[in-house]
Amino acid sequence: MKYNWSIIGHEKQLEMIEADLESGNLAHAYLLAGTNSVGKYTVAKKIAGILQCENDFCHKCSACLQVEKGVHLDTIELTGKDSIKIEEVRKLIERLSMTRQSKYKILLIQGLERMTTEAANSFLKILEEPPVRTIFIMTTDNVRMLMPTIISRVRVVKFSSVSSLYLRDKLKSIYPDCDEEIIKEVSLFSMGKTGKAVHLMENPDARADYLKVYRDIQNFLEYRNIADRFGYVENLLEDDAKVGMFFDVLTHVLRSKLLENTTDTERLIKTLSKIGETAMLLRKNVNARLALENLMLAI
């Protein structure tokens, strides 16, 4: 590949994007879709950087001299976890209408599904009739939560998890001096999510947190003490990141048991389905304590 994408895997997707960049056959809007932590937003920012400077942020040309905190002044970012309301979309539209200082005006949106219905309808108008030389690059963890009219107006690039074996081999080549047991743990805990794998490799504290959650879950599965489980829910409610970590590790553990166990298949499948259902409920801002306690009862 011509560009250093700083990401593991997704070769076909990156080749398609590179073909668009090299041929000049750019869509006015891209939607990078797939499960969380697979590197979609890393790719989105990389595309923006390439479009603003063909030398990939050389820090020498006039465009790159305007770069601020790794993002060009003509690149507008909208990140975070909170819902995107119509007021924010209106401000974005105002900024897109301002005079650009480089070849493109680029709008990066992380988690397009965070838009409220009102905001999405307003955004659709600018997506249908964008200002000249404006490129939208957006990511989503859940295409099904988006309006079909928005999906019909973007070029969708689908990203998926990679296999644990593939990930292990890649991590070995990137971190040749790393202990093999650490690479094995990371390959398992990241569940094929390449962005998460790199994060765990480079953050020993995060890796230790995952290992602790893994041991906690093993304990839950062995001893059905409801009081302990509900007490653990209180701990999870202190930090949204803990909930995501818990879901990831629990899913990994149950999937592993499903592959090994042929006598309890139906219950394991139902529990995995319950995890997905609980995650969906939390995204809809239902009572988090109640949703998590119900999940604990189902484990």
Token pair of 233 as six digits: 């829910």
Q: What is the rounded distance in angstroms from the CA atom of residue 245 to the CA atom of residue 230?
A: 17
156-203 tens-digit pLDDT: 999 988 888 899 999 999 999 999 999 988 988 888 888 889 889 999
What share of residues in the chain are helix, strand, coil (percent, to 5)?
A: 60, 10, 30
The three-state DSSP-derived secondary structure of 157-189 is EECCCCCHHHHHHHHHHHCCCCCHHHHHHHHHH
Encode 115-137: b = buried (16+ Cβ within 10 Å), e = exposed. beeebbebbbebbeebeeebbbb
Token pair of 178 as six digits: 């790393």
Q: Using an 8 Å Cβ cutoff, are 108 and 92 in contact? A: no
Neighbour tally for 7: CB within 10 Å: 19
Q: Using an 8 Å Cβ cutoff, are 179 and 172 in contact? A: no
Residue 69 CB contacts under 8 Å (≥ 6 apart), including other chains: none
Q: Using an 8 Å Cβ cutoff, are 267 and 239 in contact? A: no
Q: Is 139 helix (H, G, I), strand (E, B) or coil?
A: strand
Phi, psi of 129 (to 5 degrees): -130, 70
Burial of 181 (0-12, 13-18, 19+ CB in 10 A): exposed
For tokens 């301002």, what's the residue? Answer: 98
* Torsion-angle region of 250 (φ positive above 0: left; ψ -120 to 50: alpha; else: beta): alpha
Counting residues of the chain whose pLDDT is more than 90, the rounded percentage is: 41
- Numbers of helices and strands, H then E, in the chain: 13, 5
Token pair of 148 as six digits: 């079909």
27-57 tens-digit pLDDT: 999 999 998 888 899 999 989 988 887 555 5
Residue 92 belongs to what H/E stretch? helix 86-96
Q: Is 71 helix (H, G, I), strand (E, B) or coil?
A: strand
Q: What is the rounded distance in angstroms from the CA atom of residue 175 to the CA atom of residue 170?
A: 9
In the chain, the N- to C-terminal Cα span, in Å, equals: 45
Q: In Å, what is the CA distance from 101 to each residue of 46, 61, 211?
A: 19, 13, 48
Q: What is the predicted pLDDT for the residue at 26?
A: 93
Q: Is 21 helix (H, G, I), strand (E, B) or coil?
A: helix
Residue 267 CB contacts under 8 Å (≥ 6 apart), including other chains: none
Tell me the HSE value of 93 on the side-chain side, using a 13 A CA sphere.
18
Q: Which residues of the chain have pLDDT under 50?
A: 62-63, 65-68
